[in-house]
């Protein structure tokens, strides 16, 4: 089974260097590896010193490199949809767009990058796929896209309406109810199947995250936000890489001061990620370029595991008649947290990130009594709703 390692972190922390070093080390260890540049830049070309194209190219023995060409992917998908709309466009007198007129819509490149990743996994040609993602602030929403888009699609065209497609002529004739054309249902079904595959890939136990940070107070605050967002969506942290640790015994007082800041950062990160290994990369004299130097960088952190480090799972505890839903949210500030019960779902908002969690069947028959956040764990207290909870006679 193909392992997927998603490398993200804070801006300027060295994500591409760590991702590329990871891929080089894995290939040298004999694992068939693909390095996928999904952040929309050509930085991998520079770091590895090889040209990277939209198709996999061999950079080293057992190492292929590929970048996501968002424009080409978007153009292909747009032209497909446009061809399905061809007759309708002609009726209303709208000329179809030429390929030269198509530009990528904001955010489209992210979901297209996941499609490229899914195709690479489906090919079963690699033991490991290392994905160079954007910074965490953009990577987390990117990974949440399949789940969110599936929700939007279900609201716009729910399954029950799709099931009623055979009744369209009757509804239109008797009640005057407009029903979408068949191609709308077909497209919705195709998109939903693809989104479900992407969601399953992101949520798979063989997909983990390698988080890259630099020492410092600002970087630590960013790491807390990243930890909170990743936990909200249930992503597994493979390990944390602290890049740029100065020498504590340096004769230079400035270097020693920075080393002290780095030590404090490492201690705080160990407390923030108690179940994830933490590795440190020393401050290097020059930026590592090329396979040999990148392999040296990879020597500072361990190999990618076979299953990843799993964090605490969502769970339920019982306290008398109360049921307590446990949601691990390390690094979350109380002021950034908001909860809302919406039908059978719990809407959890942490800063700019929001997730709708479907409640287990037992909790759907309860009402929320209260909630508390302590030591990185959100506890939501539920009590049975007398109107719907079945009670045994005494």
For the chain, which residues make up each domain, given as ranges? 3-71+104-298, 315-384
- Looking at per-residue pLDDT, the higher value among 63 and 102 belongs to 63
Asked whether 191 and 183 are in contact (CB, 8 A), the reply is: no
pLDDT given at position 171: 45
Please report, for residues 135, 138, 223, 226, 357, the alpha-carbon distance to residue 237 in angstroms, rounded to integers and kept in the order given.
Answer: 15, 17, 12, 11, 20
**In which element (H, E) is residue 369 found?**
strand 366-374
Asked whether 66 and 115 are in contact (CB, 8 A), the reply is: no
Asked whether 368 and 381 are in contact (CB, 8 A), the reply is: yes
pLDDT given at position 393: 45
CATH 3.40.50.300 fits 3-71+104-298, yes or no: yes
- Does the pLDDT value for residue 368 go beyond 70? yes
Question: For the chain, how long is the longest CA-to-CA vector?
Answer: 88
- Does the pLDDT value for residue 186 go beyond 80? no
- Looking at per-residue pLDDT, the higher value among 249 and 100 belongs to 249
**In which element (H, E) is residue 96 found?**
none
Virtual CA dihedral for 230, 233, 236, 237, nearest 10 degrees? 0
- Does the pLDDT value for residue 307 go beyond 50? no
- Looking at per-residue pLDDT, the higher value among 315 and 179 belongs to 315
Per-residue model confidence as pLDDT tens digits over 211-255: 999 999 999 999 999 999 999 999 999 999 999 998 888 888 888
Confidence of residue 37 (pLDDT cuts 50, 70, 90): very high
Asked whether 210 and 243 are in contact (CB, 8 A), the reply is: no
- Does the pLDDT value for residue 9 go beyond 90? yes
Burial class (CB in 10 A: 0-12, 13-18, 19+), 223: buried
- Residue whose entry in the numeric block shows the structure tokens 């890259």: 212
Distance CA(209)–CA(309), nearest Å, equals 9
Distance CA(136)–CA(394), nearest Å, equals 55
Instruction: Give the residue-averaged pLDDT of 143-158.
Output: 80
Burial 177-201 (b: 16+ CB within 10 A, else e): eebeeeeebebbeebbebbebbbeb
Show the CA angle centred on residue 289, arms to residues 302 and 23, nearest 5°. Answer: 35
pLDDT given at position 253: 86
Average pLDDT score, the chain = 83
pLDDT given at position 2: 93
Helix or strand or coil: residue 371?
strand
Distance CA(197)–CA(90), nearest Å, equals 34
pLDDT given at position 96: 56
Measured in degrees and rounded to the nearest 5, phi and psi for residue 326 equal -105, 125
CATH level 2 (architecture), domain 315-384: Sandwich (2.60)
pLDDT given at position 11: 92
Token code pair at residue 183: 């191609």
pLDDT given at position 309: 47
Per-residue model confidence as pLDDT tens digits over 70-86: 666 555 665 555 565 55
Rg, C-alpha atoms of the chain: 25
Virtual CA dihedral for 148, 154, 156, 160, nearest 10 degrees? -170
Q: How many other C-beta atoms can be found within 10 angstroms of the C-beta atom of residue 288? A: 20
Distance CA(363)–CA(344), nearest Å, equals 8
Q: What is the DSSP letter of 72?
A: H
Distance CA(11)–CA(43), nearest Å, equals 13
Q: How many other C-beta atoms can be found within 10 angstroms of the C-beta atom of residue 104? A: 16
Selection from 273, 187, 184 nearest residue 223 by Cα? 273
pLDDT given at position 85: 52
Give the up-direction half-sphere exposure of residue 186: CA atoms within 13 A in the CB hemisphere: 7
Burial 266-283 (b: 16+ CB within 10 A, else e): beebeebbeebebbbbee
* Low-confidence winner among 192-201, 236-245, 306-315 (lowest mean pLDDT): 306-315
Burial class (CB in 10 A: 0-12, 13-18, 19+), 313: exposed
Burial class (CB in 10 A: 0-12, 13-18, 19+), 331: buried
């Amino acid at each position: 089974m193909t392992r997927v390692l998603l490398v993200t972190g804070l801006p300027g922390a060295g994500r591409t260097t760590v991702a590329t070093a990871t891929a080089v080390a894995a290939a040298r260890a004999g694992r068939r590896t693909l390095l996928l540049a999904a952040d929309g830049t050509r930085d991998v070309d520079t770091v590895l010193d090889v040209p990277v194209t939209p198709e996999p190219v061999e950079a080293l023995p057992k190492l292929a490199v590929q970048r996501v060409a968002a424009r080409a992917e978007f153009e292909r998908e747009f032209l497909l949809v446009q061809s399905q709309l061809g007759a309708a466009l002609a009726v209303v007198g709208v000329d179809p767009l030429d390929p030269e007129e198509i530009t990528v819509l904001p955010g489209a490149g992210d979901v297209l990058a996941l499609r490229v990743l899914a195709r690479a996994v489906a090919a079963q040609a690699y033991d490991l796929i290392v994905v160079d993602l954007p910074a965490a602030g953009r990577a987390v929403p990117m990974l949440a896209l399949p789940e969110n888009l599936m929700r939007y699609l279900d609201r716009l065209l729910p399954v029950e309406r799709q099931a009623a497609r055979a009744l369209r002529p009757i509804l239109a004739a008797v009640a005057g109810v407009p029903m979408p054309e068949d191609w709308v249902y077909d497209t919705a079904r195709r998109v939903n199947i693809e989104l479900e595959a992407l969601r399953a890939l992101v949520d798979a136990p063989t997909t983990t995250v390698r988080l890259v940070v630099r020492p410092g107070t600002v970087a630590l605050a960013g790491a807390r936000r990243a930890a909170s967002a990743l936990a909200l969506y249930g992503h597994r942290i493979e390990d944390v890489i602290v890049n740029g640790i100065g020498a504590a015994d340096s004769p230079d007082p400035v270097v020693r001061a920075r080393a002290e800041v780095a030590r404090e950062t490492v201690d705080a990160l160990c407390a923030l990620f108690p179940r994830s290994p933490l590795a440190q990369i020393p401050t290097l004299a020059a930026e590592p370029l090329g396979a040999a130097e990148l392999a040296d960088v990879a020597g500072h952190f361990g190999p990618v595991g076979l299953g990843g480090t799993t964090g605490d799972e969502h769970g339920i505890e019982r306290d008398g008649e109360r049921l307590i839903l446990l949601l691990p949210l390390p690094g979350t500030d109380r002021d950034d947290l908001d909860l809302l019960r919406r039908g059978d779902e719990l809407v959890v908002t942490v800063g700019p990130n929001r997730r709708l969690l479907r409640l287990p069947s037992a909790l759907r028959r309860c009402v929320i009594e209260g909630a508390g956040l302590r030591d990185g764990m959100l506890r939501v207290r539920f009590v049975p709703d007398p109107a719907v909870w079945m009670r045994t006679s005494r």
